[in-house]
């Protein structure tokens, strides 16, 4: 069943880069993960203003679990001043540095998803080192440079429980379509490990399922 019309409209009204069809596919994957592994949490890496968080949070609330969404909220490299995806409206007027946390909190207030979504403000690598709980699903949409992508893969994929899902955004096989880090260092790494198999592809969103391997 698709996400409710009102929440879908709220997701699309939120600043972000998730196309509608990919958001709907993300919601479907989150629902599948929640049904497959009831009670286990979901994690999102790369919150920005909470656009994809609405789709994931709606699934978490529907299945009575929790979405933990992790971001330092200063923006990835491509979000900084002078780069293509810089949005001056999100910058601190004093420092010029991005701060997306107020927009996320407003998104949670507007959508009333605060009972299902727990924001964690911090570096993904730092949080993963302290994380011990198995996950029904991990959605990776954080920093798109080589090092952040490697760190997210190494830090978080071991946390995905057997039969759990790994969703990856901005996976482009053709360099002409976009950056290669999520494709090379997360998507291909997961498939080459033999621990995951692909179950769906929508636009640049790939959803994999853990088929073997131990979880942390």
Residues annotated as catalytic (active site), given as ranges:
144
Contacts 24+ apart (CB under 8 A), 196-200: 196/157, 196/166, 199/165, 200/25, 200/28, 200/29
169 and 160 Cβ atoms separated by less than 8 Å:
no
d(CA 63, CA 116): 10
| Alpha carbon separation from 152 to 8, 22, 162, 195 (Å, rounded) | 27, 21, 18, 16
């391997």: which residue's tokens? 213
Spell out the residues 6+ positions from residue 158 whose beta carbon is closer than 8 angstroms to its own: 214, 215, 216
Tokens read off for 197: 């198999």
């Amino acid at each position: 069943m698709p996400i409710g019309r009102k929440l879908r409209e709220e997701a699309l009204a939120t600043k972000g880069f998730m196309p509608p069809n990919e958001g709907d596919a993300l919601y479907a994957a989150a629902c599948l993960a929640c049904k497959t592994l009831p009670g286990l949490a979901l994690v999102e890496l790369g919150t920005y203003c909470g656009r994809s968080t609405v789709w994931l949070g709606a699934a978490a609330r529907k299945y009575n679990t929790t979405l933990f969404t992790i971001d330092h909220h200063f923006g990835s490299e491509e979000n900084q001043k002078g780069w293509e995806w810089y949005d001056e409206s999100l910058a601190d007027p004093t420092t010029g540095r991005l701060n997306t946390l107020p927009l996320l909190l407003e998104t949670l207030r507007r959508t009333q998803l605060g009972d299902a979504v727990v924001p964690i403000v911090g570096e993904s690598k730092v949080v993963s080192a302290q994380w011990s709980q198995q996950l029904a699903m991990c959605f990776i949409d954080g920093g798109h440079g080589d090092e952040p992508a490697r760190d997210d893969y190494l830090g978080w994929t071991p946390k995905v429980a057997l039969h759990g899902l790994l969703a990856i955004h901005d996976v482009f096989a053709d360099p002409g379509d976009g950056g290669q880090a999520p494709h090379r260092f997360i998507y291909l790494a997961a498939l080459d490990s033999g621990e995951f198999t692909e179950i769906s592809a929508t636009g640049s969103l790939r959803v994999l399922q853990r088929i073997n391997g131990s979880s942390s």
